[in-house]
Chains A and B, each alone.
Chain A
Amino acid sequence: MSDRLVTELSAALAPDRVRSRPLELTLYRRDASLLEGQPGVVCFPCTTDEVQAAVTIARRHGRSVVPRGSGTGLAGGAVPVGADGAEPVVVVTTKMDAVLEIDEGARVAWVQPGVLNLDLSRDVAHLGLHFAPDPSSQQSCSVGGNVANNSGGPHCLAYGVTSAHVLAVEVVLPDGTLALLGGLDPEPPGYDLRGAFIGSEGTMGIAVRIAVRLSPDPPAVRTILVDFASIETAAATVTGIIAAGLVPAALEMMDSRITAAVEDYVHAGFPRDAAAVLLVEVDGLPAGVEAAAQVVADVAEANGARGVRVAADEAERALLWKGRKSAFGAIARIAPDYYLHDTVVPRTRLVEVLAQVYEIAERHQLLVVNVFHAGDGNLHPLLLFDRRERGVMDRVLAAGAEMIAACVAVGGVLSGEHGIGLEKREHMGLIFSDADLDAQRRLRLAFDPDQSCNPYKVLPSGSRCGDLQSVPAGAWI
């Protein structure tokens, strides 16, 4: 790493907020995926000026910039890979963690990107408000990361993903200038740049200030755990609930292996012998909620559910959700490593796709568990393994690729909430033609003509319009 680059960054930020020693850099080689890169230097700005300075200095030294929030991303979006093999400058926004302003009347908050998702909801809880997007990682992921990935969560079925809850984003563009995208008014002039930026996975600049919409807490909530003897009946119930004209606040499915693991882990009272469980939540005004809960029970019974349990109080409800949100933690009890997929299929194809998922895993001699946002058709097959086993990674990758192909074959897409990142870029051709990808590249190039911001992410190599080589060796699983 060039000393001049480090010296200049240290002068612009504070020396202790610029790290370049090998051991420190090691911590930023990965996110929560299995991919790995190599940062040249990592810096921790506290202000917009410092982000601008870091971007400008990196650019002057011909270095790419990789934005990073909490590093919980599962698609390798924050894994540092620089253009032309030059190690990039990683800009971590975790120190920009202030809630700047809360307008209770307008139900809007301005926050810095490093604010943790759950902290934001905690900060406004006394006002009867919350931030609706609720990824399972909400204790640790940042709002900036949510914006960059257009993250989802259990409650996005009824309330929409991050994009529906962000009004404006102030961005340090890849050339170091500052731009406000969107606004607090409903129809800002010009193209919807805010919409274009959300989900751009750090390739169009660094979000430094975000105006989010806060939602009122619903007065009535019912959380229902339904127990099934087969995956088919659980999936049929999902379709039946939606077809009955209901849009539950959440509609989550867990298969038998994960249900048992979770039960051993948090003792939420999940039926250990169920083939699948559904966690359904309905909320709103009391009469509608009661009626909806009844519809859920009726549809479940009509489909042969073994049991329907309605949480009696807030404590029981919290326990059920704890079970769902601890699923990933529970997996550690089954196997040391997991590889998580994230695809979306039409809801009505859930049964057949799940059958294929199990078949593919079995054929590759791998254990698969499923815990996912069934209401959205957003599947999360988790392949469990021990990476010390020889040759297992090849099987994991092969099985993963087959699962993606199976989902796409029924009209699905590559990702519902984790993004494409480094992980799935070479799969983009499964759903998009070269011309489609070229259009996406044109949008990216409008923000980042030099492709210096988070290169190699999202778009595959080989599409036209300012080509990139394939990912250099070193970015590896």
Chain B
Amino acid sequence: MTEPVRTLPGADRALGDFATEVGPSDPVVVVGGRTQWAVGGDPDASAREVRAPAGVVQHEPAEMIVRVRAGTSVAELDAALAEGGQTIALDPPDAERATVGGVLAVGHSGPRRLGWGPVRDSLLEARYVSAGGQLIRAGGPVVKNVSGFDLCRLLVGSLGTLGLLAEVVLRVRPRPPAAVWLRGAPDDPDRLRRALLRPSSILWDGATTWVLLEGHAADVDAEIKALGREFAPVGAPPPLPNGGRWSVAPSALQEAVMGLEPGSFVAEFGVGIVHASTPALARPAHPATATLHRRIKANFDPSGRLNPGRIVA
């Protein structure tokens, strides 16, 4: 029942080799699938390129966890999980190329975040290479853990500026037995959010609304009926504009997109992400917060050698 799907031989050696390659000095930049290469700015030209090791190390369905190396593509990971009837809340636009390490380092959640929670909540353990070239472990390989400070949360979204991810343990979930995208044009998409128990996604482009319902087939059917005839099943959600990614409080969402052409954006209801064709306005951090950011970077990477040029805040 709990047979691992597969175990790569020499697992730890690959991590050691990666640490050796990164070494203790000179600027390095870690390359994933290059699908979000520009987030945070281009790396300094002086930086040496390295790649994280790849491969699914161990999947234990009964533990609801998977151990995977950071250079593995998201598509490969999901295929391995599917064998055990499970899946994971990572759904980057280009799963064939995007890597697990890249998804975590960028830290942007996909459009199912409303139902599946943010990417950061799925990281249980990280093995990363520090600025000093050492292999460090943060967190642990169990679904619940408060042993020490939460470095995992800190690493997600840090764009490789605090450490280079080598291997991670992620929390996985059962594949929902039924899943359907619906499309309609209700007056108030927000009312719809409140009427459904746990929709996986509600997208809105100013005129049309898409809803993803997942779960037990009979429940999904009942919710479809409750939505009314106005909603009809569709094969897929709309394509997401990728000129900008705005983050706004969910209650301020409608205000934030006021004046935008319907269809020129897609907003995630209940979450607060707007996929827009124009970049988000810069949001300078509050001075006290900025000081914390600076100190964290200085404490983790005193010589500034990790992913130089990338700016997280």
Chain A positions near chain B (C-beta within 8 angstroms): 103, 105-106, 108, 149-150, 152, 156-157, 160-161, 163-164, 173, 177-181, 183-196, 198-200, 216, 218-219, 239-240, 242-243, 245-247, 284-288, 291, 344-348, 373, 376-378, 411-420, 424, 428, 431-433, 435-437, 439-440, 442-447, 449, 458-459
Which residues of B (134-157) have their CB < 8 Å from a CB of A? 134-138, 140-154, 156-157
- Complex Cα distance, B135 from A418, in Å, reads 28
B interface, size bucket: 35 or more
- Complex Cα distance, B163 from A435, in Å, reads 13
Residues of A within 8 A of B290 (CB): 190
Q: Which of B85, B138, B272, B296 contacts A191 (CB 8 A)?
A: B296
Residues of B within 8 A of A428 (CB): 147-148
In the complex the two chains form, is B249's CB within 8 Å of A106's CB? yes
In the complex the two chains form, is A458's CB within 8 Å of B148's CB? yes
Which residues of B (259-313) have their CB < 8 Å from a CB of A? 271-273, 283, 285-286, 288-290, 292-293, 295-296, 298-300, 312-313
A186-B293 contact in complex given A291-B216, A348-B63, A458-B149, C-beta closer than 8 Å: no
In the complex the two chains form, is B146's CB within 8 Å of A439's CB? no
- Complex Cα distance, B157 from A189, in Å, reads 9
Please give the distance in Å from A6's CB to the nearest CB on chain B.
29
B121 close to A (CB within 8 Å)? yes
Residues of A within 8 A of B223 (CB): 285
Residues of B within 8 A of A420 (CB): 146-148
In the complex the two chains form, is B154's CB within 8 Å of A285's CB? no
B1 close to A (CB within 8 Å)? yes
Which residues of B (205-223) have their CB < 8 Å from a CB of A? 215-219, 222-223
- Complex Cα distance, B149 from A444, in Å, reads 8
Q: Which of B120, B143, B174 contacts A245 (CB 8 A)?
A: B174
In the complex the two chains form, is A445's CB within 8 Å of B299's CB? yes
Residues of B within 8 A of A287 (CB): 216-219, 222
Q: Which of A191, A216, A245 contacts B312 (CB 8 A)?
A: A191
Residues of B within 8 A of A445 (CB): 295, 299
A186-B247 contact in complex given A178-B288, A243-B2, A415-B145, C-beta closer than 8 Å: yes
B250 close to A (CB within 8 Å)? yes
Q: Which of B85, B190, B288 contacts A179 (CB 8 A)?
A: B288
- Complex Cα distance, B61 from A415, in Å, reads 23
Stretch at the interface among B8-16, B28-36, B95-103, B107-115: B107-115
Please indicate which of the listed interface residues A179, A378, A445 has the most CB atoms of chain B within 10 Å of its own CB.
Answer: A179
A185-B151 contact in complex given A179-B288, A192-B120, A376-B144, C-beta closer than 8 Å: no
In the complex the two chains form, is A177's CB within 8 Å of B288's CB? yes
Closest to A179 in B: B288
- Complex Cα distance, B65 from A413, in Å, reads 15
In the complex the two chains form, is B292's CB within 8 Å of A447's CB? yes
Closest to A185 in B: B247
Q: Which of A157, A413, A424 contacts B145 (CB 8 A)?
A: A413
B55 close to A (CB within 8 Å)? no
Q: Which of A196, A418, A439 contacts B136 (CB 8 A)?
A: A439
- Complex Cα distance, B292 from A449, in Å, reads 11
Residues of A within 8 A of B146 (CB): 149-150, 152, 161, 199, 415-420
B201 close to A (CB within 8 Å)? no
Please give the distance in Å from B280's CB to the nearest CB on chain A.
9
Chain B positions near chain A (C-beta within 8 angstroms): 1-2, 60-64, 85, 107-109, 113, 117-118, 120-121, 130, 134-138, 140-154, 156-158, 162-163, 173-175, 190, 194, 197-198, 215-219, 222-223, 245, 247-251, 271-273, 283, 285-286, 288-290, 292-293, 295-296, 298-300, 312-313
Residues of A within 8 A of B118 (CB): 186
Q: Which of B108, B121, B190, B216 contacts A105 (CB 8 A)?
A: B190
- Complex Cα distance, B218 from A411, in Å, reads 39
Q: Please, could you name 10 A-B residue pairs with CB atoms under 8 Å apart, sorted by A?
A: A192-B107, A192-B120, A195-B150, A420-B148, A433-B136, A435-B134, A435-B135, A435-B136, A440-B148, A440-B151
Please give the distance in Å from B199's CB to the nearest CB on chain A.
11
A180-B289 contact in complex given A239-B1, A285-B215, C-beta closer than 8 Å: yes
Please give the distance in Å from B158's CB to the nearest CB on chain A.
6
Given contacts A190-B290, A348-B63, A435-B130, 20 further A-B contacts (CB under 8 A): A163-B121, A164-B117, A184-B251, A184-B272, A185-B247, A187-B108, A190-B289, A191-B312, A195-B154, A200-B150, A242-B63, A288-B218, A346-B141, A377-B142, A412-B140, A424-B147, A432-B147, A439-B136, A440-B149, A458-B149
Please give the distance in Å from A246's CB to the nearest CB on chain B.
7
In the complex the two chains form, is A284's CB within 8 Å of B197's CB? yes
Please give the distance in Å from B27's CB to the nearest CB on chain A.
20
Please give the distance in Å from B130's CB to the nearest CB on chain A.
7
In the complex the two chains form, is B299's CB within 8 Å of A442's CB? yes
In the complex the two chains form, is B215's CB within 8 Å of A288's CB? yes
In the complex the two chains form, is A443's CB within 8 Å of B149's CB? yes
- Complex Cα distance, B249 from A106, in Å, reads 9
- Complex Cα distance, B72 from A432, in Å, reads 25
Residues of B within 8 A of A189 (CB): 283, 285, 312-313
A443-B151 contact in complex given A186-B272, A190-B293, C-beta closer than 8 Å: yes
In the complex the two chains form, is A432's CB within 8 Å of B137's CB? yes
Residues of A within 8 A of B163 (CB): 439
What are the 3 tightest A-B residue pairs by CB atom distance, in nearest-first order? A195-B153, A190-B313, A288-B216
- Complex Cα distance, B33 from A329, in Å, reads 55
A436-B197 contact in complex given A105-B190, A377-B144, C-beta closer than 8 Å: no
In the complex the two chains form, is A179's CB within 8 Å of B292's CB? yes
Please give the distance in Å from A169's CB to the nearest CB on chain B.
12
- Complex Cα distance, B144 from A324, in Å, reads 20
In the complex the two chains form, is B147's CB within 8 Å of A243's CB? no
Q: Which of A183, A412, A440, A443 contacts B296 (CB 8 A)?
A: A443
Please indicate which of the listed interface residues A190, A373, A435 has the most CB atoms of chain B within 10 Å of its own CB.
Answer: A190
A347-B63 contact in complex given A106-B250, A199-B150, A428-B148, C-beta closer than 8 Å: yes
A187-B145 contact in complex given A160-B117, A439-B300, C-beta closer than 8 Å: no
Please give the distance in Å from B68's CB to the nearest CB on chain A.
17
A105-B251 contact in complex given A187-B273, A439-B130, A447-B292, C-beta closer than 8 Å: yes
In the complex the two chains form, is B113's CB within 8 Å of A186's CB? yes
Residues of B within 8 A of A152 (CB): 144, 146
In the complex the two chains form, is B134's CB within 8 Å of A416's CB? no
In the complex the two chains form, is B197's CB within 8 Å of A344's CB? no
Residues of B within 8 A of A243 (CB): 1-2, 61-62
Please give the distance in Å from A286's CB to the nearest CB on chain B.
7
In the complex the two chains form, is A196's CB within 8 Å of B197's CB? no
Please give the distance in Å from A66's CB to the nearest CB on chain B.
18
- Complex Cα distance, B137 from A428, in Å, reads 13
Closest to A288 in B: B216
Residues of B within 8 A of A413 (CB): 140, 142, 145, 147
In the complex the two chains form, is A416's CB within 8 Å of B198's CB? no
Residues of B within 8 A of A416 (CB): 142, 144-146
Please give the distance in Å from A240's CB to the nearest CB on chain B.
7
Residues of A within 8 A of B273 (CB): 186-187
In the complex the two chains form, is B62's CB within 8 Å of A347's CB? yes
In the complex the two chains form, is B289's CB within 8 Å of A181's CB? yes
